[in-house]
Amino acid sequence: MELTSLETPKFSIRQAKELVKDLHKPVAWIFWTDFLCTIIAGHACFSLNVNSWRWLDLTSPVSWGIQAGLFVANVLLFLRAAMFTHELVHLPKEGWTAFRVVWNVLCGIPFMIPSFTYYPHIDHHRRKSYGTEEDGEYLNLSHQPPSAIVWYMLGTLVTPFVGLIRWGILTPIAWVFPQVRKWTFARASTMVMDISYVRPEAGEKVYRIMRMQEVACLLVAWFILLHGPVIAKTWLDPFWFYAYAVSVAMIVMNNVRTLGAHRWTGEGSELSFEQQLLDSCDYPDSPWFTELWGPTGTRYHATHHLFPSIPYHNLGKAHRRLMAGLPQDSIFRETVKKSLIAEIASLWKRSAASQRTAPKVSGYRSEGMSQAA
């Protein structure tokens, strides 16, 4: 069903709410257990692989297999831990301060993706801003040439370096020059897809949190930069190469997931509630596999957009209830997709077709290279 249809069927949000009304409360022990086990195991895999020369015979094919296994596990674990930043935005403000602090200490700061960089995600859920220039997590990829998709993926190769520049270099400069500070907050302090996105000014509390998290990220950035010559005493530091490989692999996986999270058919104007729902995708099949590339419920993106306050551990249950309880002709069923790869292939076809039918149409958004969670 095309989003431009003037006869988009209405969706009974009241009926849907009734079906999932008891699923909105996050369970603290699930969050703490899941995150802590994930991030600790991830850091263990990282340490084992970086120091593999100490305990493995690196000339042995068996050792290569062990290293490859640790690398894959490392990427999957770190990706899952990082995706909790998406949950932080939607968690209640009260009662979750400790979890937010621990997530930043163990994951957000070491990965240089502190939680304040994802605060604007809430605009991605507002009907008035979804898919417009106020939504930094949206690109009208279905109306841009396929090269926009290619550039979006190629951006993963430079993102780790951009992070080092942002936190290690721009941060201290911004402390000295107010204009640089203003530009840095507006243009280089948000995890987005659209590199032309301008973050609106925030309240003093946000700036205070930003300053604290910036200091921590500055220290991490310089620890990374100095690790080779100072700690490892080499310019061929295994730590550098491994950290870069893990970072790029995580961002690639997240970008691939993101390409299939929506149909990206918006054209820059406001979309109705029903159109936004039809523009989002759920992948309920093969849960043991889809949860790897779509961790913490992100594979249920349509269900999440329908009810952003439902915690990740209840999204699967919410999806199943909606599928069982909503009418057979409900548009919610059209959000269900069988395959991430097939959906990305469909996006590519729509992108290519848009250039054949309207070769001079210009997208309202720039090609993005930054990342979204």
pLDDT in tens, 22-37: 999 999 999 999 999 9
Q: Give CA–CA dist 5/138, Å, rounded.
A: 21
Task: Give the CA distances from residue 98 to residues 28, 112, 219, in Å, rounded to whole numbers and listed in that order.
Answer: 11, 19, 22
Q: Give CA–CA dist 74/56, Å, rounded.
A: 17
Residues 165, 213, 237, CA angle at the centre, nearest 5°?
45
- Pair (248, 222) in one structural domain: yes
Position 81 in a domain: yes
Closest alpha carbon to 33 in 22, 41, 45, 25: 41
- Pair (256, 366) in one structural domain: yes
Residue 11: the pLDDT is 84
Position 327 in a domain: no
- Pair (230, 258) in one structural domain: yes
Residue 372: the pLDDT is 41
Domain boundary among 70, 91, 112: 112
Residue 359: the pLDDT is 52
| Torsion angle defined by CA atoms of residues 342, 345, 351 and 353, in that order, rounded to the nearest 10 degrees | -90
Pair 262, 242: CB distance under 8 Å: no
- Pair (235, 353) in one structural domain: yes
| Torsion angle defined by CA atoms of residues 346, 348, 352 and 358, in that order, rounded to the nearest 10 degrees | 70
Element (H, E) at 78: helix 61-82
Q: Give CA–CA dist 279/130, Å, rounded.
A: 11
| pLDDT in 10s for each residue of the chain, 373 residues | 444 443 456 788 999 999 999 999 999 999 999 999 999 999 999 999 999 989 999 889 999 999 999 999 999 999 999 999 999 999 999 999 999 999 999 999 999 999 999 999 999 999 999 999 999 999 999 999 999 999 999 999 999 999 999 999 999 999 999 999 999 999 999 999 999 999 999 999 999 999 999 999 999 999 999 999 999 999 999 999 999 999 999 999 999 999 999 999 999 999 999 999 999 999 999 999 999 999 999 999 999 999 999 999 999 999 999 999 999 999 999 999 999 999 999 999 999 999 987 654 444 343 333 444 4
- Pair (140, 201) in one structural domain: yes
Pair 39, 107: CB distance under 8 Å: yes
Contacts of 170 (CB under 8 A, 6+ apart): 180, 184, 188
Domain boundary among 77, 112, 147: 112
Residue 10: the pLDDT is 72
Residue 223: the pLDDT is 98
Contacts of 316 (CB under 8 A, 6+ apart): 284, 287, 297, 300
pLDDT tens per residue across span 307-336: 999 999 999 999 999 999 999 999 999 999
- Pair (102, 124) in one structural domain: no
Position 18 in a domain: no
Position 3 in a domain: no
Q: Give CA–CA dist 193/122, Å, rounded.
A: 14
Position 167 in a domain: yes
Residue 8: the pLDDT is 55
Q: Give CA–CA dist 149/147, Å, rounded.
A: 5
- Pair (202, 89) in one structural domain: no
Q: Using the 8-state DSSP alphabet, how is residue 367 labeled?
A: P
Report the number of distinct structural domains present in the chain. Answer: 2
- Pair (124, 89) in one structural domain: no
Element (H, E) at 259: helix 238-259
Pair 308, 125: CB distance under 8 Å: yes
Domain boundary among 112, 147, 181: 112
- Pair (106, 242) in one structural domain: no
Where b means 16+ CB within 10 Å and e means fewer, 249-263 reads bbbbbbbbbbbbbbb
Position 311 in a domain: no
Q: Give CA–CA dist 186/166, Å, rounded.
A: 13
Type of residue at 333 = R
Residues 194, 197, 200, CA angle at the centre, nearest 5°?
150
- Residue 115: φ, ψ to 5°: -60, -30
Give the domain range for residue 49: 25-112
Task: Tell me the Ramachandran region of residue 286: left when phi exceeds 0, alpha when psi lies from -120 to 50, beta otherwise.
Answer: left
Residue 164: the pLDDT is 98
Residue 12: the pLDDT is 87
Position 34 in a domain: yes
- Pair (108, 127) in one structural domain: no
- Pair (194, 249) in one structural domain: yes
Query: pTM score, two decimals?
Result: 0.92
Position 215 in a domain: yes
Token pair of 265, please?
Answer: 């058919």
- Pair (246, 358) in one structural domain: yes
Pair 281, 306: CB distance under 8 Å: no
